Structures are given as C-alpha cells and as structure tokens.
Amino acid sequence: MAKIMIQGTGSSVGKSILVTALCRIFKQDGYSVCPFKSQNMSLNSYITLDGKEMGRAQVLQAYAAGLQPEAYMNPILLKPTSDKKCQIIVNGKVYGNSTAMEYHNMKLEFRDMLKEQFENMEKSFDIIVMEGAGSPAEINLRDRDIVNMGMAEIVDAPVIIAGDIDKGGVFASLAGTMLLFTEEEKNRVKGTIINKFRGDVDILKPGLTMLEDIIKVPCIGVVPHFTLALEDEDGAVEFNTKVTAPIDIAVIKLPHISNFTDLDALKSEEDVSVRFVTCTEEFGNPDLVIIPGSKNTIEDLIRIRESGLENVIREYSETGLVIGICGGYQILGKMLQDPYEVETDVKETEGMGLLDIETVFEQEKITTRINAESIECFGIHTNESDKENRKLNVYGYEIHMGICKYGENAKPLFRITDKNGEKVLIDDGAINKKGNIMGTYIHGIFDGVDFREYILNKIREQKGMTTKKSNTYESLREKELDKLADIVRQNLDINKIYEIMGLKK
C-alpha cells in the first residue's frame, strides 16, 4: 500500500482540488485509491448512504476515486457555530460541542482511532491520498497536531507542500513553511507544487531553481489557474455578487451559511446566474430568491432582520418565487424555538411568517439520505396546461435538528419514499397556497434533473425564454473530473509522485 499527503502553505491554496485530481489520475492508471482527511473544518457537509456526516471536499475526492463517499474518509468534522465554538462530528456522528480550546485539549484522544482507521484503509486500497488542513507550520499547534505533520508522522506518510502563487508571495510562503519545520518534518517533505499560476512559466523557472537551492526540495510542477464546474474547495468559495446570465438567482448569504454546494447544479446551467446578497442594496430584481442552510439559524434570521433584508424579501414574496432549504426553510416559518439551546442562547424568535410552519430544535440530529417525490404541481405558473398533477422525483440528504409543525395554510411539498434504504412515507417541506413560496429540508434538491428543470423552465417561460432540458449533474461532474485530471497530469511530474510513493507507473 502506498500513500502521499498534500499539505499547503495555508488555507485555500488548492489542497482539496489537488487531492481530487490525484485520486482521479491514480484511478485512471488502474489503482484502487481512496482520499483521507483526518480533520476537516467546514459547514459544507454530506450524508453518506448509511446516514453518517462528512465533509463535502472528501465527497468530491471519493467520486474522483470512483468510490461512494464514506465517513472514514473524513473521521473528524468540525462545524463552527460561532467564532469560538463548534460542533464535533466523529466518524459521522455528533460527538459534542466545544470551544476551540476544549477541542485543542482533546485532540490527542483521537490519535489511536485515526491510526487504526488508516491502517484498516491500507488493507483495502493500493493508494491513499491524504490532505492536510490550513498550514502545517502553525508552531503553536504542533504538540497536538492530528491533521498535518502530526498525522503524517502517525502513518509515516511522505508529504508534498502546495503553495498558491495567485495570492503572491509563494516563494516566501514555501521557504517560510520549511523554515518553521523541525528537521524530522523537513525530511518528510519530498516536493513542492506551485498552484494557480497565470502567465509564462519560463519567467517563473529561475525562481523555482533558487527556491530548490534554498529549501533543498524539488518542485514537482506548476499547475495553471483554471475554472471548472466542480465544487469549490472548503473555505475558498468565491461568492459571486453580479448578474452574469439571463436568469438571476439571488441567494441570501447568511453569516453561518452551510451546504452552499446545494447551488452547484444551478451554477452548471449556462443561462443561470447565481449571486449572493448580503444587504438590501444588492437585492435587485431576481427571478428566484433562495435562503440556504445555516449552522445557526436563529442568529442568521436576526441578522437578516437587522440588515433590512427581511422586509425586502417579504415584499418580493408577494409576486416573486422564494425557496428555503433547511435553515432557510425554518426562517420562512412563523416561529423558531430552541429550548435546549442547541444552536444559540436565544430560545425563541418569530420567523418571516411566509410559510405556516413552526420549528422546534431538538437535541438529536437527523442525518439521512432520501428519495422523494412531489405531492402535487407547484402551481407557480398560470398556464392552464400546467395545472395537471405532476410528480417530480428528487433525491438528496437531510442534516437538521429542527422539527417542523404544519399550520392550516401550509401543505407538504414532497413525500419522502426512502430513508437510508428503508421504504417510508413521510411528508417534507411546505408550500403556500399561492404556490410561490416553498421550503424543504432536502439538501441537494437541485442536483436531480426533475426539480431543477421544472423550476428553471417556469422562470424561462415567464421571461419569454425557450424552455430546455437539464443535464444530470453527475454526468457533468464526471466530465469535469476528467478535465481536472488532464490539467494536473500535464503540469505535474506524475512519475516523480509515483517514485515518492514507492510505486512504478
């Protein structure tokens, strides 16, 4: 079994996408390969087929490797609830909530578990591609590190350090990182990668030679800056604020926004612009407003209220189309209660009142993979031909601690028919009588063709545009993963990476 670890000079340098590329390259070369990130901090999470929660970055890496995502690929997930607190997910299940210092003090408790899980993975795969987090040169965290050099030491993995040249200062970042390593850590580093390069690489080459002389580590390649229709690296998302296509979808950028990958399938549509709104001045006149998921729903609702966006959304909702997902669904309701202080110490607040539902946050988190179907035609268009009952198939996953109660003026939006492989009949979401305001707990609601195509074609008709068929998001993702592998293969010395791992191509 072989292994390689990609660390970076800091956050958002492209570690996740490089690991994704290597997973696809090794798979193309005939190896069984698996991604691994011992600890991830992200509000972008995913539910596996067995109902466990993991970081989204490792989900994309799993797909690149040709695997179904599994929680062992990301054993520890930290989900911030405030600047100093987070929820800790261990092996896919809630472990508890803690402050940053409390978690720092407990990290060593997980070392044996991480070592055992990694060793089990080694028995099942030819190659494991590991990912670090943030910077490995945080010397104040070295004694309790379980994600960068600490993890590499636990499993004796060789390391490649990636630097982002697009930010500037990449040579100083790489040299400074090496400077702060211990001698043992320096010996573990077998190469560097310059990422996100724009321009003529010949101009860069003298600097690469000088850097190699300084740090005594070879550069394995220079990866150009590129744009592909793939999920953004955790923490490196560019929240577009401009209308760039005929269909204008405005997403309310909540302070604790989570699972913004729910929007990726919409971004893949050529005539769709997805932009993020933080204040009333940015709202404009969108064709659809989406209120996304949140890790702290009540506090985010309060911020929307204080910013004036609540009133703007209320006014827009009289004629416009509004969809809330998970926390956004709860925000659209009449009341939110948090009696156990699951998310905040604010135990009760009024919602926007656009859907006749009330939410109570329970202590147990619901994490399920689901299949569902629409209960009735959504009625968001006035053509007589559209009033026939049409069932739309949807799939996705639930991650929430809130339970919603329906009022007289709310009807369920979907009927869940399958939860984690078990046949059920459970109502989900809500739609108002007018049919222009909807909410659902289902993350990934736009990934399936039916719902995405239905909503977008209604907007196209209203704008006098030609309706069109939507492509499956999975087929697009596979094509983009192959493009990613081609780009990285052409610009890295893959033979050198095989040599570092002790393998022959």
Question: DSSP states of 153-186 as a string?
Answer: HHHT--EEEEEEGGGS-HHHHHHHHHHHS-HHHH
Query: Quick one: tokens of 171?
Result: 């040579």
> Phi/psi class of residue 389: alpha, beta or left (left: φ > 0; alpha: ψ in -120 to 50)?
beta
- Which member of 23, 34, 86, 326 is catalytic? 326
- Which member of 256, 381, 400, 443 is catalytic? 443
pTM beyond 0.85: the answer is yes
Q: What digits encode the pLDDT tens for the residues 290-301?
A: 999 999 999 999
Torsions phi, psi of 463, nearest 5? -95, 0
Indicate the pairing of strand 39-41 with strand 219-224: unpaired
Spatial CA neighbour of 3 closest among 227, 135, 157, 146: 157
| 326 classed as catalytic | yes
362 contacts 403 by C-beta, under 8 angstroms: yes
Give 387's pLDDT tier (boundaries 50, 70, 90). Answer: very low
What's the confidence (pLDDT) of residue 239? 83
Spatial CA neighbour of 218 closest among 501, 500, 504, 502: 500
Query: Is the pLDDT score of 25 beyond 90?
Result: yes
Give 232's pLDDT tier (boundaries 50, 70, 90). Answer: low
The CB density around residue 468, as the number of other CB atoms within 10 Å, is 13
Q: What is the largest CA-CA distance in the chain?
A: 75
Which strands make up the sheet holding 189-197, listed edge to edge? 33-36, 127-131, 2-8, 159-164, 189-197, 219-224
DSSP-assigned letters across all residues of 402-460: EEEEE-TT-B-SEEEEEETTEEEEEEE-EE-TTSSEEEES-BTTTTSHHHHHHHHHHHH
Query: Is the pLDDT score of 383 beyond 70?
Result: no
| 279 classed as catalytic | no
Quote the CA–CA distance of 238 and 403 in Å, as a whole number.
Answer: 32
Give the mean pLDDT of 469-498.
95
Query: Is the pLDDT score of 159 beyond 80?
Result: yes
Q: Where are the alpha helices (DSSP H) in 318-358?
A: 327-331
Give 415's pLDDT tier (boundaries 50, 70, 90). Answer: very high
Query: Is the pLDDT score of 63 beyond 70?
Result: yes
Report the half-sphere exposure of 2 (CA within 13 A, side-chain side): 17
Burial of residue 262 (number of CB atoms within 10 Å: 0-12, 13-18, 19+): buried
Spatial CA neighbour of 81 closest among 236, 294, 276, 253: 294
CATH superfamily, domain 2-230, is P-loop containing nucleotide triphosphate hydrolases (3.40.50.300)
CATH superfamily, domain 247-470, is Class I glutamine amidotransferase (GATase) domain (3.40.50.880)
What's the confidence (pLDDT) of residue 83? 79
Least confident of 36-50, 66-80, 232-246, 333-347: 232-246
Residues carrying CATH 3.40.50.300, the chain: 2-230
Q: What digits encode the pLDDT tens for the residues 77-92?
A: 999 987 788 999 999 9
Q: What digits encode the pLDDT tens for the residues 442-457?
A: 999 999 999 999 999 9
- Contacting residues for 182 by C-beta, under 8 A, at least 6 apart: none
Residues carrying CATH 3.40.50.880, the chain: 247-470
> How far does CA 437 lie from the centroid of its chain?
25
